A = this chain, B = another copy of it.
Amino acid sequence: MKNLVSMKDLSVEQIMAILKQAQLFQEGASSQLEQNYTMANMFFEPSTRTKMSFEMAERKLNLNVLPFEAGFSSTLKGETLYDTVKVLESIGIDALVIRHEQNNYFESLIGKVKPAIINGGDGTGNHPTQSLLDIYTIWQEFGTLENIVISIVGDIGHSRVARSNADALTRLGAKVHFVCPPKWQGEFEANNDFDEVIDASDVIMMLRVQHERHDGVSTFSKAEYHNAFGLTEEREKRMKDNAIIMHPGPFNRDVEIASELIECDRSRIFKQMENGVYIRMAIIEMILKGRE
């Protein structure tokens, strides 16, 4: 594994190796890296959880992390992403985490630059570290992905997470259902009635309503969306005994999920964020080891 830009790059075996290494890190294992590596996190879109999670993972691996301020860089002078990355290559950076608003931004980089590229999210495309931490959280809960029924509910068409998760979860043996309003399903097949899937689901994965990606013309009021596609306390009561609630965050309280459910017993929302640190440690270590 030289880079990680899409879940499509990973075989089932590679995914399982990442989960197992993440588990070792979570149990207290320390980094096996033998050299000093330097990384930078290039976030061209605002982020708290993904950026901070990578920053923490990098420090737990004892890496050197150079600060990169996207809003104060030469991209303001019109420099292309390729040219900026070549600069960072020249000064000796080994790996870059990049979040960028443009889908497939990484096509201008992979195979052309020396630093490893770890995709922290590309537009409405991929978000593989989020997918892996989701998979890890489910695996941790049920001990397997085989035959686990997962309903992904919300803004499917605009969601990086849905796209990244769909294929990988299926390859791992899970049964994935999408649930969303007809206008939002994009290229996916989806169920338009949330209530039909609730009692059969082991995992209900709520997606964020991406206000900032819609064009200002909202089809629903917040209350209407909450009633039709939100995880309400009433719906939570109908979930299977051991079923769990997930959400990649940041969440809109009382839009896609009732505020009271964020920290309820079934919720793995903050567990997902905790798990993200170990998943990212596993990914970074594997990629850097591949260079030794």
Question: Does A212 sit within 8 A of B, measured CB to CB?
Answer: yes
Interface residues of A in 61-96 (CB under 8 A from B): 64, 66-80, 83-84, 86-93
Copies per complex? Answer: 3
Question: Does A28 sit within 8 A of B, measured CB to CB?
Answer: no
Q: What residue of chain B has the Cβ atom nearest to residue A263's Cβ?
A: B86
Contact A56 B274 (CB under 8 A): no
Contact A74 B91 (CB under 8 A): no
Interface residues of A in 242-279 (CB under 8 A from B): 249-253, 262, 270-271, 273-274, 276-277
In the complex the two chains form, what is the Cα distance from A44 to B93 in whole Å?
A: 24
Question: Does A170 sit within 8 A of B, measured CB to CB?
Answer: no
**A278 shortest CB reach to chain B, Å:** 10
A45-53, A174-182, A223-231: which lies at the interface: A45-53
Contact B48 A78 (CB under 8 A): no
Chain B residues near A89 (CB, 8 Å)? 270
Contact A72 B43 (CB under 8 A): yes
Number of interface residues of A (CB under 8 A): 52
Contact A64 B59 (CB under 8 A): yes
Contact B249 A48 (CB under 8 A): no
Contact B53 A277 (CB under 8 A): no
Contact B88 A74 (CB under 8 A): no
In the complex the two chains form, what is the Cα distance from A249 to B86 in whole Å?
A: 11
Asked, given contacts A87-B49, A212-B77, whether A92 binds B43 with beta carbons under 8 Å apart, the answer is no
**A182 shortest CB reach to chain B, Å:** 25
Contact A74 B49 (CB under 8 A): yes
Q: What residue of chain B has the Cβ atom nearest to residue A249's Cβ?
A: B87
Asked, given contacts A84-B48, A274-B90, whether A72 binds B74 with beta carbons under 8 Å apart, the answer is no
Contact B74 A56 (CB under 8 A): no
Chain B residues near A211 (CB, 8 Å)? 77-78
In the complex the two chains form, what is the Cα distance from A17 to B124 in whole Å?
A: 52
11 contacts between A and B (CB under 8 A): A38-B59, A46-B73, A48-B68, A49-B74, A49-B87, A55-B66, A56-B93, A59-B66, A67-B67, A90-B271, A91-B277
State the 10 A-B residue pairs at the shortest beta-carbon distance, nearest first. A90-B273, A48-B74, A90-B270, A79-B250, A48-B73, A74-B250, A90-B274, A46-B76, A55-B66, A56-B91
